[in-house]
Structure 1
Amino acid sequence: MNGFSGEYEVTLDSKQRFLLPAGVKKQFAEGENTFVLARGIEECITLYPVKTWEAIEQKLNALNKFDEEARTFKRIFLRGVTEIELDSAGRILVPPTLKEYAGLKKEMIIAGMTDFFEIWEPNKYDAVLKKVSPTKFSELANKLFL
């Protein structure tokens, strides 16, 4: 596989860090230990490899700075963006702004999204998934893959 996949359960420690699961680590390039945490479009956090984030920054920089919608989007999307490095134990520190935005408590789900990972509060993740019935999922697949 070339993209990020899988779902992983992790736990925040008392210092608001979590251990990056081995199953997630092995999906990154060897030696890659710098990432970007950002707000997800839904109430989650996104975890990007730096190279993936650089492509997003290029798209953000291409937006018209004189357009009010573009400025509003950038303000909201970039709020709390943090470049992080794994510590010596392989943990990631979750900044308070992003933790609050996603409603994270102790337990979390990390879900692969092909070119990044989402980090969810488990009840919110379940609710998002349950919004889509099997019939709707089939319709989405038909719409998006044709």
Structure 2
Amino acid sequence: MFMGEFKHSIDSKGRLIIPAKFREQLGSEFVVTRGMDGCLFGYPMSAWHDLEDKLNQLPLNKKDARAFVRFFYSAATECQVDKQGRINLPEPLIDHAAIQKGCVIVGVADRFEIWSEDRWDSFSNDAEENFDEIAENLLDL
């Protein structure tokens, strides 16, 4: 299970350090792709395969399902951690998350997310301000 919040920087070559705590859970290969809310999603291969199974069940006759799957898979990339604990993010992913220098890597149960520091600060401040209301609304699910 991924949890915690870690601040790192991305270098000019698109290399980002993955927290050691996460590397232990990820194994030798994992997938990073576009996420929601302007961040990136990272999945260990086992979670990625589980997600693929669910996505493969989406109805092809639904335009939104086709669009989501195309967008989600088109930027997906298999990553390997180098000897310094870094991965190399491709430009389309960096652009999607608006990452310039500062990054925040956040554990979210079966995946981790990579945020630009600015977007994470904005999201985090909003979530903190509305946390009680968000929690209350979830009870209806």
Give the TM-score normalised by the residue count of structure 1.
Answer: 0.87
Q: Cα offset for 1:140? A: 2.2
Which residue of the partner structure matches residue 104 of structure 2?
A: 109
Aligned residue for 1:6, secondary structure, equals strand
Q: Percent identity?
A: 35
1:79-90 matches, within 5 Å, as: 79-90=74-85
1:15-54 matches, within 5 Å, as: 15-26=13-24, 28=25, 32-54=27-49
Listed as ranges, the gaps of 5+ residues in structure 1 are none
- 2:7–2:103: 8 Å Cα contact kept in structure 1? yes
Give the TM-score normalised by the residue count of structure 2.
Answer: 0.90
1:132 to 87, 104, 127: 127
Q: Cα offset for 1:25? A: 2.5
- Normalized per residue, which structure has more strand? 2
**When the two structures are aligned, how many residues end up with a matched partner?**
140
Per-residue CA deviations over 1:35-94 (Å, capped at 9, x if unaligned) read: 100111111111110110111111111111122111111122223100111123321000
Listed as ranges, the gaps of 5+ residues in structure 2 are none
Distance 2:4 2:86 in 1: 19
* Alignment RMSD (CA, Å): 1.7
